[in-house]
Each structure stands twice: as C-alpha cells, then as structure tokens.
Amino acid sequence: MTYPRGMSRFPYPAHPLTPYPPLIISAALTGMAAQRDRVPHVPLSTEEIVADAERCFDAGATVLHLHAREPDGRPAWRREAYGEMIREIRRRCPGVVVCATTSGRGGASRDERADVLLLDGDARPDLASLTLGSVNFPTGASVNDIDTIEELARRIAERGIVPELEIFDLGMAHLAHRLERRGLLPAVCPANLLLGFPNGAPADARSLSALVDALPASVGPWHAAGFGAFQQPAGALAAAMGGHVRTGLEDNPYLDHVERDAATNAQLVQRAALQARASGRGVADAAQARRTLELEPVNGPFATA
C-alpha cells in the first residue's frame, strides 16, 4: 500500500482513524565498535553476521543495517568483505532490504568509506547509510565534514543506491535541506532519527517530534532508534507516532538495563515487533517494506517468498 507523502511523517487524524502503515523493523546487527567483552552476542565474522541476519529476518526485521569486520574484529571497508555476506543474506532472507554503512568512525578515507558502493549485481546494497554530521560516541567520534557528506551523497547517487540518512540532532536534519536543494537526494529518502546518543538529541517525544518536523519533503519514511537504555522507549514512541523502528546490538547491548541481561539481535527484533502490535500496528514483511521505501522488487532467486 502506498501512502501520501505527509502520511510517512504524522498521519492525521491519528491512528486508528487513519491507519498507519505496517511497521518496518530495521536491525543494526554489529556496528563499528562492539566487541565481545562488552556485547557478548554481537556477530563479528561473516558467517556469524549472516546467521544472525537470518534469525532477525525470521523474527520480523526487513531492513538489515550491515557493517563488515576484518578477521581480527576491526571494521572492514573493503567491498570484498561485504560481497559474500550480502549475497548469502539475500539467499537466506528473500526480498530483504540491505543497507551497507559508509560510516565515518575509525578515520577511514572517503574512498574507503565509498568502496562498498562499487559492488554490483546481487551484492549491490539497496541502501547506504549517510551520516549528516559529526557525532560523539563513548568509544570515539564519527567525523563527517560537509564536503565529505556531499561527496558520499554524490557517489551514492551515481551508483543508483538510496541513501539512508543518519540524523542525531537538528543541525543534521537541517543539512538534509541543503542536500535536497543541491539535487543530492532521491525523491524518497529514508532516515534514521537516533536519540539519546552523547551530544545528540535527547530520547524524548519532544525531540523526536522536532526532528520529524525538521525533515525536508524528500525525506521519509523515518525510523527512530535509541542509544542503550533509550532503545525501548524510542521504539515505542516511533510505533505510536506512525514511524518505524531501528533496533539491534549496534546501539544497545542489553535486553534489561536494570539486570544487565545481555541481548541478542533476534530478541531485540522480537521486542520491537511486540511494540508494534501493542500500538495496533502490523509488522511489515519484505514486500511491504520495499513498497513503503519505494524500492524495486527483487526478482530471480532472491525474490520475496
């Protein structure tokens, strides 16, 4: 089902008078920094990431946000590190939306960050993350100057891949307007609104509403994510407000922050699915997610089941 442009933001009148679209769950499986000493269940090898992706897909995730790792656990930017992983995920998860990172953490060059965009055929990602500014994390900063952001946006567009905007505060939302004016965003461009991160927007309804209202016309649908203990309330806000949800061990290692129970990615996806149903919404399957994001359907051996 296709929704009018405004309905990807705040449908009025509110649900259930105006039905919200099925909720898309995006699973950020690994990230750039998580290691087993702090995140016991984080998948690191290609085989582990693929197996975890399949478990998350079976639990309801239809967007997979991927970071590859080198054999020693360090972040990998080489396209070869992604190619086999993406092909096998597509084989096991028919129709799934694949998002590859172009993260600025770790001091990688523009060429290193953009190398994954050069994959072709079945290994080519549907989406590529694009962080719209610099942001601090407990383990270091993600540095993204404006020239680099615009250059990565150009390279993403040249490859016919859709950018997934990573937005941590209002300044980043406002930068999206500049990219739109310069013709660097497609007609439909999803966004992750990330709450509760150091030096970012607080994880509350007022901040999420402000971020959504600040997005340009070309940006949407949007997902909300929360850092650590904020992951669950951010997901609940998004489900109630008509947005979508990002979850996963990249952002949060615990299922219970009081007892410090270590989470798995599949458990976090299952919790997001419960939040959707508690808000009176269904969970999008792969075909519905691709339609909502206005992505081409997958054909051939990786088609939606």
Map out the domains of the chain as residue ranges. Answer: 26-296
Q: What is the pLDDT of residues 76-98, one digit of tens each?
A: 999 999 999 999 999 999 999 99
Q: In this predicted structure, what is the pLDDT of residue 119? A: 98
For residue 104, give the nearest of 78, 84, 75, 83 by alpha carbon. 75
CA angle 212, 257, 139 (to 5 degrees): 70
| DSSP element (H, E) containing 26 | strand 25-28
Label residue 5 by pLDDT band (50, 70, 90): very low
**115 CB-side CA count, 13 A:** 16
* Mean pLDDT for the chain overall: 92
Mean pLDDT of 257-282: 95
Q: In this predicted structure, what is the pLDDT of residue 199? A: 87
Q: What is the pLDDT of residues 18-30, one digit of tens each?
A: 788 899 999 999 9
CA 163 to chain centre: 10
Classified by CATH at the fold level, domain 26-296 comes out as TIM Barrel (3.20.20)
SS3 label, residue 174: helix
Whole-structure pTM value:
0.94
Label residue 4 by pLDDT band (50, 70, 90): very low
Q: Is the preceding omega at residue 216 within 30 degrees of 0, hence cis?
A: no
Mean pLDDT of 174-181: 97
Label residue 271 by pLDDT band (50, 70, 90): very high
Alpha helices in 60-162 (DSSP H): 79-92, 110-114, 146-158
The percentage of the chain sitting over the pLDDT mark of 70, rounded to a whole number, equals 93
Mean pLDDT of 186-195: 95
SS3 label, residue 254: strand
Do residues 119 and 79 make contact, with C-beta atoms less than 8 angstroms apart?
yes
